[in-house]
Structure 1
Amino acid sequence: MSQTVLYARVSTAEQTLAHQQTQAEADGFVFDAVVADHGESGRKPLRERPEGRRLFDMLRTGDTLVVRWINRLGRNYEDVTATMRELMARGVVVRTIISKMTFDGATKDPMQRAIRDALIAFMAASAEAELEATREAQRAGIEHAKAQADQTAYRGRRPSYSREQLDIVRARIAQGAGLSVIAAEADLTWQTVRRIRENPTEAEAALVRWGT
């Protein structure tokens, strides 16, 4: 019997499995199993994560794997594309919560296959580019926060967004999504998304100042 499995990578203290699962269920997904890696970086290949290994053991032909976004599987282009190829070769259907995409290895039409593979390549490349952009933003934010700390101990208002939400906003801005779309996906107001877009360095610095 086929099964539907949610895989979540919860990489920071502010991210929660419950949030990812609730969002998926709100979109109509029903799960037979939930698998989650906690405190694992996206830089680590899926097979090297404790629950990632278990996930590979669980999935069989006809199963459906649901992830919030492809970057939950990894942040390295080669690793993510190889993982997606292996899953589809097994007959596993991969579906994303954000953007509601479906990747099915059973597709036979050459044009549909080309479009599917191009989308996977684009999303995997975006995940790696997002990681590099996040690293750069974090470095800039840390320097900005240090400079401010040298002048005053005032931290300002606590950010209304988490690390996970900031990552989502940055990724979707890079992909050209609109403010309202990003706000809905990140569960933020469009005003907050606009402020992040207008001053990403300060957005990162605010998290740093509050130790998040």
Structure 2
Amino acid sequence: MFIRAYLRASTAEQDATRASDALERFAVEHGHKIAADYIENESGARADRPELLRLLKDARKGDVLLVESIDRLSRLPADDWQKLKAAIDSKGLRIVALDLPTSYQGMNGTKGDEFAGRMLAAINSMLVEMMAAIARKDYEQRRERQAQGIKKAKAEGAYKGRPVDEDLYNRVRELLGAGLGVRATARHAKCSTTTVMKIRDTKKFKSAALESVH
């Protein structure tokens, strides 16, 4: 059995490998070892996550996609989630999440009573769908609360935005200036592609790029 662990954090400031030990222990407890890790700092609301796409490309029928929880896999809108789920199913991947005990049967293949196995698989599929919907709802609520907080802070003149990480900015600028693409830069700078594009599109970066040309 080939177990592919997917670990994700939303921002460059968060540790995407935080759950790696828990996933490894879980695999060992079920008599297996993780064969490949896919780690990235990308929003779960994005469908075009490089490491997730690489996992899907590498996957073979019968492999296990191991995650800490369903929200690490998806915070996608319904339509995008259904596309991702269809891609996972088409590859023959079995989703196993630490916080979803009904998914644990995926670690044991298809052994045991066929009827019981099919019933458990149906229940698990329903719960995965429910947890994906909850993950999206949680994402939307947090975004709404964040927007409300920013709006209030702006009205009170207290909003200053996120402080600029100068070290990260300079690292991204150097990598882009060396001719690396957005994804390669994100990988080497250990940040999200969104962060790279934001830095690339800043007036400060564009001005520096023009000066280097002249």
**TM-score class, shorter:** 0.5 to 0.7
1:79 corresponding residue in structure 2: 80
The 8 Å contact of residues 16 and 40 in structure 2, kept in 1 or not, is answered as: no
Superposed CA offset, 1:115-156 (max 9, x none) = 233212211211211111111121233345557775xxxxxx
Q: TM-score, normalised by structure 2?
A: 0.57
Structure label with greater radius of gyration:
2
Amino acid at match of 1:71: D
Does the aligned pair in 1 maintain the 2:102–2:120 contact within 8 Å? no
CA contact (8 A) 1:77 1:125 kept: yes
The answer to whether structure 1 residue 37 and structure 2 residue 40 are counterparts is: yes
| Unaligned ranges ≥5, structure 1 | 151-212
8 Å contact kept, 1:81–1:121: no
- Map Cα deviations across residues 92-126 of structure 1 (whole Å, 9 max, x no partner): 22111234441759696464444233212211211
In structure 1, the partner of 2:67 is 67
Describe how 1:61-140 pairs up with structure 2 within 5 A. Answer: 61-75=61-75, 76-102=77-103, 109=115, 111-140=119-148
| Identical positions, percent | 32
Q: Deviations over 1:178-198 (max 9, x none)?
A: xxxxxxxxxxxxxxxxxxxxx
Q: Considering only aligned residues, what root-mean-square deviation do their CA atoms show, in Å?
A: 3.1
Deviation at 1:4, TM superposition (A): 0.8
Matched-pair contact (CA < 8 Å) for 2:17–2:39: no
**1:23 aligned counterpart, secondary structure:** helix
Q: Tell me, in whole angstroms, the C-alpha distance in 2 between the residues paired with 1:98 and 1:135.
A: 24
Unmatched 5+ residue regions in structure 2? 159-214
Q: CA 1:137/1:3 → structure 2, altered by over 3 Å: closer, same or farther?
A: same
2:64–2:96 Cα contact (<8 Å) kept: yes
Is the 8 Å Cα contact of residues 96 and 102 (structure 1) preserved in structure 2? yes
In 2 relative to 1, CA 124–18 (structure 1 residues): closer, same or farther, beyond 3 Å?
closer
Report how many residues are paired: 148
Partner of 2:57: 57
Shift of 1:9: 1.9
CA shift at 1:28, angstroms? 4.3
Higher mean displacement: 20-29 or 68-77: 20-29
Residue 201 of structure 1 aligns with which residue?
none
Counterpart amino acid of 2:3?
T
